[in-house]
Amino acid sequence: MIDFSTKKGFICDMDGVIYHGNKVLPGVVEFIDWLYRENKKFLFLTNNSGYTPRELQQKLARMGLDVSEEHFYTSALATAAFLKEQFPGCSVYAIGEAGLFNALYDAGITMNDVNPDYVVIGEGKSYSLDTLTKATNLVLKGAKLIGANSDLTGPIEHGIAPACRALIAPIELATGKQAYFCGKPNPLMMRTGLNILGCHSAEAVMVGDRMDTDVVSGMECGMSTVLVLSGVSNRETINTFAYRPTMVLDGVGDIAAIADAQRK
């Protein structure tokens, strides 16, 4: 059992935790109200590299949720930060959406489709046989292969969509090169989230819907973990992993209800 009333920080996944597609999940309004009411530090941390923080803020606003821009951190930002630390001023050939390109530009990274230092792959509608072929040949010429995240699939309103790990797999197979992934469960992304919140891992909770990214990354960083059953993982799949979350709840609304009960 987690004493939510004593925890200072909450890092929450988004897809499958806060919404499915363009639909807010049950209990989310109550959970966000509780975070503000109890003056908790919180961060919505997503492996989706396609959106900028501003776009995520506006997406939630269209759903009736008022969350300011500084409460979002994405795998695109984590990827840009990693490249800036590893090779300041490097160039990349990138496949992705605005979230990835904006993060790279803001980190001082330039686009280069001739002889880039890195090939960077995120989710995106621009992914095609032409861009895949270009990326493959650039890696064969020496560019290092980077993935924004290692998710194979992501939840959508009517099923699942192939995610970054699935999109980068053809390049790995064609080149024999293995990608380095910057998003969850890479602990670099979780530690950055904790630094943004200004919390020690023992003071924070990771809330997510996936055992293979959210729960394992929170656990390996020393955080309490909550698996919510509103997204990818379910009670049956929990038993296929060698580790377990600290708590299993139906949705994030249960956190507010349990915390209120703990205070009484």
Per-residue pLDDT of the chain (264 residues; tens, 9 = 90+): 899 989 999 999 998 899 987 889 999 999 999 999 999 999 999 998 999 999 999 999 999 999 999 999 999 999 999 999 999 999 999 999 999 999 999 999 999 999 999 999 999 888 999 999 999 999 999 999 999 999 888 766 677 788 899 999 999 999 999 999 999 999 889 999 999 999 999 999 999 999 988 999 999 999 999 999 998 888 998 999 999 999 999 999 999 989 888 776
**H/E element, 59:** helix 53-62
- Residue span(s) of the chain under CATH 3.40.50.1000 come to 4-47+184-263, 76-181
Return the CATH superfamily for domain 4-47+184-263: HAD superfamily/HAD-like (3.40.50.1000)
Residue type, 2: I
**Structure pTM?**
0.91
Furthest-apart CA atoms within the chain: distance in Å: 64
| Cα–Cα distance list, 170 to 23, 93, 136, 176 (Å) | 32, 16, 8, 10
3-state secondary structure of 146: strand
CATH number, domain 76-181: 3.40.50.1000
Catalytic residues, by residue number, are: 13, 15
d(C-alpha 138, C-alpha 145), whole Å = 9
**Pairing mode of beta strands 144-147, 180-181:** parallel
Give the tokens for residue 142: 């020496």
Round to the nearest angstrom and report the end-to-end CA distance of the chain: 16
